[in-house]
Structure 1
Amino acid sequence: MFPWKSVVEIEQTCPNPIYLQIANDIICEIKKGRVAPGSKLPGTRSMSQILEVHRKTVVAAYEEMEAQGWIDIHPSKGAFVLSTLPEQRPQQLRGFSPNDGKAWEQTGYEVQPYTNIHSPTYAPQRILGLHDGPDLRLVPRTLIARTFKGIMSRPAAVNHLRYYEVDGNPNLRQVLSEHLNESRGLKTTADNIFITRGSTMGIFLSGMALLSKGDVVLTGDPGYYYGERKFAHFGANIIRVPVDEFGMRTDIVEDICKKHKVRLLYVTPHHHFPTTVTLCASRRMELLALARQYRFAILEDDYDYDFHYQSSPLLPLASADETGNVIYIGSMSKTFAPFLRVGFMAAPKNLLQELLKMRQLIDIQGDYIMEQTVAELFKLGEIKRHMKKALKIYKERRDIFCEMLAEKTDGKIQFKIPEGGMTVWAQFDKDIPLPLVNEAAKKQGLIIPGGQIYDNASSVKLNSTRLGFAGVNLEEINRATDILGKAIRKIDGSKEK
């Protein structure tokens, strides 16, 4: 008699249910050949007595093995190991030696390098970093997980696992339409909302739908490097427009429009990227007037609208657009965390119909269940509660960070206290090279963003970077500004010698 009791080991502390432990151990014996194909297994009653478990547990184990294709259960006859097992070792191709792994190191054909793309530098876990983004420790993980699990547990959830609408979860589109109308003065319906996997997809799809080789695109100077690269991918001719303390220079936009046929203008008016300045009200109206007159599209990237520390922030350009010239995009990545790949586009219906077609070329659909999770968190008021809590914390951190930054860096960094967002635009003195600051700070355990990515989207060398304050608590702010100050003094002292 086969020693089932000794080969099937049941561990009460194992996270796997007992029926799976039984099924896995029996499958292991079949793989080893100790239980031969065609063999009959003990009946469920006998096996339950041998293993000292409930008969229903053995029934579940046998059903699991049958589902995996290891056994065949015949009513009134018993359970038999199949003659043809589901896992057969693949046969080596004749005349070929086994792959030694070298083929995965280098292609056997030419690959054209994709130039002018620089990967951002992030601090590894447990290393202090001043990066642009929210504090991941504030993310209501339990709430998100519970809501997601609740949706998946519903009987109707199986209907949401299929292919569905390319423009996104209809519940989220409706909720976002209401949210944007209420909080940002838009006048949309759900038919004007297109769900993306973040602002990056929104920018890419806009370029895909609107741009042809040679089309003129206007961006800020300095501007958003990754936005420029996307437009360049479609062959656009990028012209940079200077940005001052009031935002993009509309007088220069007008001069360019008189000389060139402008197809698209990309702008981050709420907090300009990277300098954080806000586009003033008069220039907003001038941009809209120019878009109407010269018939170009405005791509308004409102990546952090919800984080503004003044009492009454200016509404988006899209709220005053009466002629359908503005494409409005945003994301939940700043609200919660980068893992939440849910963004949106708000635009005229005829453009969205084209975006539907374009999106299917790169991504057939988003994550329906996660989108439903976000929709339900909106309806429950949880997202507004989270944003209100985070806003209070980030404002306190901004104030403390700016105070300590000014105090500890001996006037070697020029900056203005930002009205919103999660970063300070830090302009280092010309005699304090940013790469040297990066290197000195890193040796002391602090990672700060490099400045090259901003230089690449500017007509001049900036020696500047965005220092994030939202993702660090007060103790970390104190430690980070200490290290930054020491790094600057070290460089300044070495130059004096």
Structure 2
Amino acid sequence: MWKPERNTKKALYEQIADHLEQRISYGEFPPGSLLPSERKLAEQFDVNRSTVISAFAELRSLGIIESRTGSGTRVSTSKWGATPKHTPNWSRFAEGGNFLPNLPFLRRIREALAQNPSLIDFASPELSADLAPTDEIATLMSRNAYTSYMGYDNPQGSTLLREALVEFLNKYRSIRTTESSILITSGSQQSLYLITQCLLSPGDAVAIEDPSYCYSLPMFQSAGLRLFRLPVDNHGIQPEDIRTLYKKHRIKMVFLNPNYQNPTGTVLSNERRKRLLDVISELGLPVVEDDPYSLTSYDGVPPLPLKSMDTMGSILYIGSFSKIAASGLRIGWMVAPRSIVERLADARQQMDFGLSIIPQLVAGQFLQSSFLDPHLERLRIQLQFKRDLLIESLEKELSGLIEYVAPEGGLHFWCKLIPNIPDAKLLEESIKKGIIFVPGSVYGSDSGYVRFTFARTKPEDIELGIARFARAIRELIK
């Protein structure tokens, strides 16, 4: 993010004025659009507010911006004396369309991290750089020239990667499939997007867990779907709740994350898995099983997916490289009936003609390499180490103020605060103290729940981050 240089002869306010003028000339702020406030720009540029006031005064003198009391500062509609008669109302376009923006809390988290990268980050759902198999992937890339044809590949995904996934899914997830029943995607979210856009219609009713990562994704509302909730306890959902929702609302699909569920970390019990498969078989309901975390099981014995027990072909199984290797490769997969794979591959081809071939080749080679098992073992050990540091810190700093059930795998730690503090106040106070997390209401829960994601956080920052969080709580319950 741009900031003025302090070691030059040019005054800070002049640098800011030039920077804003350039952004205006590039059309980032069209004529008539509202500029950020003086206070916000001062925080962004790390200067005093008076410096921004001087920069605004410079731009006003040039006729580039205009200010009105109570209305803020806007880009002049008569810039340089030329009145644009047909300037598009870009604000209206930005607020329109069918695809909804991210939830306000998620936009606030992204903004805070961009403005202050030094925040201790318990929000970002990805692995830290030291947990990714960076050296292993570099070794694989150095061994292979990747000089084959670089045109568009099969929209279903690289044949090499799909063949590697057939072996991987059989060995590690007890799923038997064929390469023709696998679709490669850019991650679990693209799999969900394709399902909601191509297999469902506006007005359809679907069931999701409560709380649920799905609740944080506006793509469901953008698709016009009606969401109904399946409460999650310490053993997952109650399968009979699916039957109830089917009778009341004629739900057409169920979305589940049964292993180390996001955000709660729970695992659907074996007894409930059997009942669940009976219920969906009886009702003829498809289930989308999102399974990104199973191989992070701290004891090295991952719970099997529902798909491994699926004899009726009722489960659409989706997985991802992001939570077990490297999110930057942007590799996910879906196992589904061939007719569904062909339908979604056709949609993918219309969107982007398929993923880049190089990450797919790298991912396929990694799955077939001798690097995979040692990497997964190291990943499990390090994640458990971070989880234990988090538990120690919570017990030290917030004993009596927080309740939790420690997860046995995954990246997330779900907590209930005993003092019920409004989410917005707690998030803002925590940002002031130098820590960021995701409020539980993002996932559909009541106020007073928190999700700490610890995979990206440095071990040495975990205790400090929780201490800052504790200070934020005590500041608000004085």
Distance 1:172 1:278, change over 3 A: same
Distance 1:257 1:126, change over 3 A: same
Q: TM-score, normalised by structure 2?
A: 0.75
Match among 119, 122, 126 for residue 127 of structure 1: 119
Partner of 2:467: 482
| Per-residue deviation, residues 65-89 of structure 1 (Å, max 9, x unmatched) | xxxxxxxxxxxxxxxxxxxxxxxxx
Aligned partner letter, 2:458: N
Aligned partner letter, 2:383: Y
| Per-residue deviation, residues 401-460 of structure 1 (Å, max 9, x unmatched) | 112212211321211111111111011124433433322322222222234412xx34xx
| Per-residue deviation, residues 367-407 of structure 1 (Å, max 9, x unmatched) | 11111011111222223322211111111111121122122
Identify the range of structure 1 (136-145 vs 424-433) with the bigger mean alpha-carbon deviation: 136-145
| Structure 1 residue 186: Cα displacement | 0.7
Distance 1:103 1:335, change over 3 A: farther
Partner of 1:233: 222
Match among 117, 133, 136 for residue 102 of structure 2: 117
| Structure 1 residue 480: Cα displacement | 1.1
Partner of 1:45: none
Partner of 2:309: 320
| Rounded Cα–Cα distance in structure 2 between residues aligned with 1:374 and 1:234 | 31
Match among 366, 371, 375 for residue 386 of structure 1: 375
Q: Highest Rg: 1 or 2? A: 1
Partner of 2:452: 467
Are 2:148 and 1:163 equivalent residues in the alignment? no
| Per-residue deviation, residues 342-384 of structure 1 (Å, max 9, x unmatched) | 0000112122121121212222101111110111112222233
| Structure 1 residue 104: Cα displacement | 8.5
Aligned partner letter, 1:209: C
Partner of 1:277: 266
1:409–1:488 contact (8 Å) kept in structure 2? no
Are 2:353 and 1:361 equivalent residues in the alignment? no
2:100–2:219 contact (8 Å) kept in structure 1? no
| Rounded Cα–Cα distance in structure 1 between residues aligned with 2:272 and 2:237 | 8
Instruction: Please give the residue correspondences for 1:341-420 in structure 2 after superposition, counting only pairs within 5 Å.
Output: 341-420=330-409
Aligned partner letter, 2:171: E
1:451–1:462 contact (8 Å) kept in structure 2? yes
Which consecutive segments of 4 or more residues in structure 1 shift more than 6 A? 97-100, 107-110
Structure 2 SS opposite 1:177: helix
1:277–1:418 contact (8 Å) kept in structure 2? yes
| Rounded Cα–Cα distance in structure 1 between residues aligned with 2:227 and 2:428 | 33
Aligned partner letter, 1:112: G
Match among 121, 130, 145 for residue 137 of structure 1: 130
Distance 1:105 1:143, change over 3 A: farther
| Per-residue deviation, residues 107-146 of structure 1 (Å, max 9, x unmatched) | 6979526546324524343332112331223323343244
| Rounded Cα–Cα distance in structure 2 between residues aligned with 1:359 and 1:465 | 35
Identify the range of structure 1 (350-359 vs 294-303) with the bigger mean alpha-carbon deviation: 350-359
1:136–1:336 contact (8 Å) kept in structure 2? no
| Rounded Cα–Cα distance in structure 2 between residues aligned with 1:410 and 1:433 | 20
Are 2:200 and 1:208 equivalent residues in the alignment? no
Partner of 2:257: 268
| Rounded Cα–Cα distance in structure 1 between residues aligned with 2:95 and 2:415 | 38
Structure 2 SS opposite 1:247: coil
| Rounded Cα–Cα distance in structure 1 between residues aligned with 2:82 and 2:358 | 42
2:426–2:473 contact (8 Å) kept in structure 1? yes
1:433–1:463 contact (8 Å) kept in structure 2? yes
| Structure 1 residue 263: Cα displacement | 1.3
| Structure 1 residue 105: Cα displacement | 8.2
| Structure 1 residue 311: Cα displacement | 5.0
Structure 2 SS opposite 1:339: helix
Q: TM-score, normalised by structure 1?
A: 0.72
Identify the range of structure 1 (140-149 vs 404-413) with the bigger mean alpha-carbon deviation: 140-149
Query: Could you list the runs of 5+ residues in structure 2 that have no partner in the other structure?
Result: 1-80
| Structure 1 residue 180: Cα displacement | 0.8
Aligned partner letter, 1:486: R
What is the alpha-carbon root mean square deviation over aligned residues? Answer: 2.5
Report % sequence identity: 28
1:262–1:294 contact (8 Å) kept in structure 2? no
| Structure 1 residue 284: Cα displacement | 1.1
| Structure 1 residue 288: Cα displacement | 1.2
Match among 113, 131, 141 for residue 148 of structure 1: 141
Distance 1:464 1:190, change over 3 A: same
| Rounded Cα–Cα distance in structure 2 between residues aligned with 1:190 and 1:283 | 30
| Rounded Cα–Cα distance in structure 2 between residues aligned with 1:268 and 1:307 | 14
